[in-house]
Structure 1
Amino acid sequence: MSKKYRVPYFALVIIAIVIAVTIAVILWFKPDKSAATVLADTSTTVSNGSTNAMTDMSDPYNGLEVSSTQTNTEFTTGLERLPSSLQGTQVDGEIIIDDNKQLVVTEGLRRLFDYFLSAMGEEDEATILARVESYIRHHTPEPAASQAVAIFNQYVSYLKQLSKIEASYGNLQLQATKAGALDLNVVGQRKQDVSNLRKQIFDDETIKAFFSSDDSYDEYSVAMLEIEQNQLMSDMQKNAARQDYVSRMPDGDIKSNIKQQANIGELIERTEQMKAKGASAQELYNMRRELVGAPAATRLAKIDVEDANFDQRFMQYQAQKQQLLTQNPDNAQIQINQLEQQLFDDAERKRLTGYAALKQESLDSN
Structure 2
Amino acid sequence: MSNNRRSPFLFIAIIAVIILMTVAIILWFKPKNSRTVFSQSPFTTISNEIANLSIDMTNFNDKVDPSSNQNSTPFTTGLENLPRSLQGTTVDGEIIIDEQKQLVVTEGLRRLFDYFLSAFGEEEDTVIYDRVKSYIRNHTPEPAASQAITIFDQYVAYLKALPEIEKRYGNLQLQATENGELDLNAVAQQKQDVAKLRQQHFAKQTITAFFGAQEEYDNYSVEMIRINQNDQLSDAQKEVARQDYISRMPNNLAKANIEQQANLNALISRTEQMKAKGATAEELYKMRRELVGAPAAARLAQVDQEDASFDQRFNQYQAQKQRLLSQNVDSAQAQTELNQIEQQLFDESERKRLAGYAALQQQKAANTN
Pair 1:186–1:316, CA change in 2 (3 A): closer
* Aligned: 1:240 with 2:266: no
Amino acid at match of 2:57: L
Shift of 1:328: 9.6
Between the aligned partners of 1:228 and 1:315, the Cα distance in structure 2 is 35
Pair 1:314–1:160, CA change in 2 (3 A): same
Amino acid at match of 2:312: Q
Deviates more, 1:330-339 or 1:247-256: 330-339
Pair 1:78–1:21, CA change in 2 (3 A): farther
Q: Superposition pairs for residues 16-95 of structure 1, below 5 Å?
A: 31=40, 36=48, 59-60=52-53, 63-66=56-59, 74-95=74-95
Cα offsets for 1:142-197 (capped at 9, x unmatched): 22211111111111111112222232233799889987655545443333332232
How many residue pairs match? The answer is 326
Between the aligned partners of 1:86 and 1:191, the Cα distance in structure 2 is 32
Q: Percent identity?
A: 63
Question: 2:278 aligns to what?
Answer: 278
Unmatched 5+ stretches in structure 2: 1-7, 20-37, 62-71
Question: 2:22 aligns to what?
Answer: none
Between the aligned partners of 1:67 and 1:206, the Cα distance in structure 2 is 22
Question: 2:351 aligns to what?
Answer: 349
Pair 1:322–1:178, CA change in 2 (3 A): closer
Q: By percentage of residues, which structure has more helix?
A: 2
1:38 and 1:118 in contact (8 A); partners too? no
Question: 1:13 aligns to what?
Answer: none
Pair 1:20–1:265, CA change in 2 (3 A): farther
Q: Superposition pairs for residues 151-162 of structure 1, below 5 Å?
A: 151-162=151-162
Amino acid at match of 2:343: Q
2:105 and 2:206 in contact (8 A); partners too? yes
Pair 1:119–1:292, CA change in 2 (3 A): farther
Shift of 1:31: 0.3
Pair 1:333–1:179, CA change in 2 (3 A): closer
Pair 1:99–1:244, CA change in 2 (3 A): same
Deviates more, 1:234-243 or 1:118-127: 234-243
Deviates more, 1:140-149 or 1:342-351: 342-351
Amino acid at match of 1:246: I
Deviates more, 1:291-300 or 1:130-139: 291-300
Question: 2:23 aligns to what?
Answer: none
Deviates more, 1:151-160 or 1:80-89: 80-89
Q: Superposition pairs for residues 165-314 of structure 1, below 5 Å?
A: 165-170=165-170, 184-230=184-230, 232-314=232-314
Pair 1:297–1:85, CA change in 2 (3 A): farther
Pair 1:236–1:280, CA change in 2 (3 A): closer
Pair 1:188–1:299, CA change in 2 (3 A): same
Question: 1:128 aligns to what?
Answer: 128
Amino acid at match of 1:63: D
Amino acid at match of 1:31: Q
Cα offsets for 1:216-256 (capped at 9, x unmatched): 12332343344345555444333311211111212232112
1:67 and 1:121 in contact (8 A); partners too? no
Pair 1:359–1:151, CA change in 2 (3 A): closer
Question: 2:118 aligns to what?
Answer: 118
Amino acid at match of 1:60: L
2:246 and 2:255 in contact (8 A); partners too? yes
1:95 and 1:108 in contact (8 A); partners too? yes
Between the aligned partners of 2:164 and 2:9, the Cα distance in structure 1 is 24
Between the aligned partners of 2:147 and 2:57, the Cα distance in structure 1 is 22
Amino acid at match of 2:349: A
Q: Which has the higher contact order (CA 8 A, sep 6+)?
A: 2
Pair 1:78–1:256, CA change in 2 (3 A): same
Deviates more, 1:264-273 or 1:116-125: 264-273
Between the aligned partners of 2:364 and 2:196, the Cα distance in structure 1 is 52
Between the aligned partners of 2:102 and 2:78, the Cα distance in structure 1 is 21
Question: 1:338 aligns to what?
Answer: 340
TM normalised by structure 2 equals 0.73
TM normalised by structure 1 equals 0.74
2:285 and 2:301 in contact (8 A); partners too? yes
Between the aligned partners of 1:159 and 1:307, the Cα distance in structure 2 is 44
- Give the match's secondary structure for 2:111: helix
Shift of 1:83: 2.1
Amino acid at match of 1:303: V
Shift of 1:109: 0.5
2:54 and 2:118 in contact (8 A); partners too? no
- Give the match's secondary structure for 2:95: strand
2:101 and 2:143 in contact (8 A); partners too? yes
Deviates more, 1:123-132 or 1:228-237: 228-237
Shift of 1:134: 1.1
Shift of 1:62: 5.8
Amino acid at match of 1:344: F
Cα offsets for 1:312-358 (capped at 9, x unmatched): 33344445556667789344554443343233221122223333444
1:73 and 1:130 in contact (8 A); partners too? yes
Between the aligned partners of 2:102 and 2:356, the Cα distance in structure 1 is 57
